[in-house]
Chains A and B, each alone.
Chain A
Amino acid sequence: MAAVRLCRCRCRALLSRSAGALRARRGLAAGPEMHFGFQTVTEEERREKIYQVFENVAKKYDVMNDSMTLGIHRVWKDIFVHKMNPCPGTLLLDVAGGTGDIAFRFINYVHSVRQRQLQRKLKHHQNLSWQEIFESYQKDKFNSLGDSQVVVCDINREMLKVGKQKAQHLGYSEGLSWVLGNAEELPFDDDKFDVYTIAFGIRNVTRIDLALQEAYRVLKPGGRFLCLEFSHVSNPLLSRLYDLYSFQVIPVLGEVIAGDWKSYQYLVESIRQFPPQEELKAMIEDAGFFKVDYENLNFGIVAIHSGFKLHNENTSC
Chain B
Amino acid sequence: MIVTVLSNPNHSRAVNCSLQRQHSQLPAGPARSGSQRPGNAPAARDAPAAQGCGPTAVVRCQQYPPLRALQASAALRGASDEHKKEPWASSSQQHFDSPPAGHQPEQKPQGPHPSYTGQGGQESEDYESEEQLQHRILTAALEFVPEHGWTAEAIAEGAKTLGLSVAAAGLFHSDGSELILHFVSECNTKLSELLKKEQKLVQLGEAEKKPIDEFLRDAVEARLRMLIPYIEKWPQALSVLLLPRNIPSSLNLLTSMIDDIWHYAGDQSTDFNWYTRRAVLTAIYNTTELVMMQDSSPGFEDTWRFLENRVADAMTMSNTATQVQSTGEAVVQGLMGAAVTIKNLAGLNQRR
User: Do A and B actually bind?
Assistant: yes
Given A84-B170, A89-B166, A194-B165, A278–B67 Cβ distance below 8 Å?
yes
A293 touching B64, Cβ below 8 Å: yes
Verify if B164 is at the interface (C-beta below 8 Å from A).
yes
- Tell me, yes or no, whether A306 is within 8 Å of chain B by CB: yes
Instruction: Determine whether the beta carbon of B67 is less than 8 Å from that of A85.
Output: no
Residue contact A281 to B64, C-beta cutoff 8 Å: yes
The residue from A222, A282, A306, A312 contacting B168, defined by CB atoms under 8 A apart: A222
Q: How far is the CB of B233 from chain A (nearest CB, A)?
A: 13
Given A222-B164, A223-B165, A294-B64: A286 and B171 interface contact (C-beta under 8 Å): no
Q: Which residues of A contact B39 (CB under 8 A)?
A: 290-291
Q: Does A184 contact B (CB under 8 A)?
A: no
Residue A288 CB within 8 A of the other chain: yes
Question: Which of chain A's residues has its CB closest to B37's CB?
Answer: A291
By the criterion of a CB under 8 Å from any partner CB, how many residues of chain A are at the interface? 37
Question: How many Å lie between the Cα of A303 and that of B174 in the bound state?
Answer: 20
Q: Please state if A313 and B9 are interface contacts (CB–CB under 8 Å).
A: yes
Q: B residues 4-49 with Cβ under 8 Å of A?
A: 4-5, 7, 9-10, 39, 42, 45
Q: Which of B3, B5, B167, B174 has the largest number of chain A CB atoms within 10 A?
A: B167
Residues of A within 8 A of B159 (CB): 222
A308 in complex: contacting residue of B3, B63, B156, B168, CB < 8 Å: B168
Cα distance A294–B152 in the bound complex, in angstroms: 20
Give min CB distance, A147 to chain B, whole Å: 11
User: With A84-B170, A294-B64, A308-B170 as given contacts, are A221 and B165 in contact (CB-CB < 8 Å)?
Assistant: yes
A220, B170: Cβ atoms under 8 Å? Answer: no
Is residue A1 within 8 Å, beta carbon to beta carbon, of the partner chain? no
A-side contacts of B153, CB under 8 Å: 87
CB–CB B156/A87 < 8 A: yes
Are B10 and A194 within 8 A (Cβ)?
Answer: no
Interface membership of A317, Cβ < 8 A: yes
Q: Are B165 and A220 neighbours in the complex by a CB distance under 8 Å?
A: yes
Instruction: Tell me the smallest distance from the CB of B70 to a CB of chain A, in Å.
Output: 14
**Which residues of B are at the interface with A, using a C-beta cutoff of 8 A?**
2-5, 7, 9-10, 39, 42, 45, 63-64, 67, 116, 126, 128, 130, 133, 152-153, 156, 159, 162-171, 174
